[in-house]
């Protein structure tokens, strides 16, 4: 066989081998990405379940907070932890959980937070008392564009809601949802 033909065949086989390895690496990267996305969704669902469980287990305290009733002692500690968990849940839902969500779904968390701040006097009072919210726009995540987008979405929605009187008969069971 002619050495030039052998060389050409070896080059073709080498190129096919390189292409096959690139395809293999691409498939592996895609699978790794899908596993990561699945894990992110799983983590968010676990967080959601943990928050809702905490909310249900402390429903009496949560209802008092939303209604603006006086709380003392252990209830105050539970209320602070519940509120912090709600803010973190809202932030993760509105910003950090990027998998399989549209911008509208992300903004839904900002709208819910703004509605709770507007609708429930105790919730708004807790927000102003909690440093996690009071400092949110300034110190907590100063260099995070997504966090600022979330914060600005909450503030914009809250400003729009300020033009509407809150419904005093709105059921407290929807507070924080």
Instruction: Give residue 69's domain range.
Output: 41-174
Give the pLDDT of residue 137. Answer: 47
Residue that is written with structure tokens 């979330």 in the block: 150
Global confidence as pTM: 0.63
Structural domain includes residue 14: no
* Cα–Cα distance, 165 to 104 (Å, whole number): 25
Query: E strand or H helix at 149, and its extent?
Result: helix 145-161
Is 24 part of a structural domain of the chain? no
Taking only the tens of pLDDT, the chain with its 177 residues reads 688 888 888 888 889 888 888 888 888 888 887 877 777 777 777 878 888 888 888 888 888 888 888 888 888 888 888 888 887 777 777 666 555 555 566 677 888 888 888 888 888 888 877 654 545 544 444 456 777 777 888 888 888 888 887 765 666 666 766
Asked, for residue 5, whether it belongs to a domain, the answer is no
Q: Is residue 15 part of a domain?
A: no
For residue 142, give the DSSP letter. Answer: T
Domains of the chain: total: 1
CA distance 16 to 25: 14
157: Cβ contacts below 8 Å, ≥ 6 apart: 110, 111, 114, 115
17 assigned to some structural domain: no
Contact 10, 68 (CB under 8 A): no
Let me know if residue 12 belongs to a domain. Answer: no
In a domain, 32, yes or no: no
Position 127 in a domain: yes
């Amino acid at each position: 066989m002619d050495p030039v033909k052998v060389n050409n065949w070896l080059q073709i086989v080498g190129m096919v081998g390189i292409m096959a390895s690139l395809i293999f690496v691409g498939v592996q990267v895609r699978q790794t990405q899908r596993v990561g996305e699945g894990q992110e969704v799983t983590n968010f669902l676990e967080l959601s379940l943990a928050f809702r469980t905490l909310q249900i287990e402390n429903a009496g305290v949560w209802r008092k907070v939303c209604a603006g009733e006086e709380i003392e002692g252990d209830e105050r500690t539970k209320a602070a932890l519940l509120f912090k968990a709600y803010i973190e849940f809202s932030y993760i839902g509105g910003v950090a959980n990027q998998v399989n969500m549209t911008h509208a779904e992300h903004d839904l968390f900002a709208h819910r937070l703004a509605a709770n701040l507007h609708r429930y006097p105790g919730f708004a009072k807790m927000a102003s008392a909690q440093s996690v919210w009071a400092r949110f726009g300034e110190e907590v995540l100063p260099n995070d564009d997504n966090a600022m987008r979330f914060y600005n979405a909450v503030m914009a929605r809250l400003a729009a809601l300020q033009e509407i009187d809150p419904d005093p008969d709105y059921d407290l069971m929807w507070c924080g949802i």
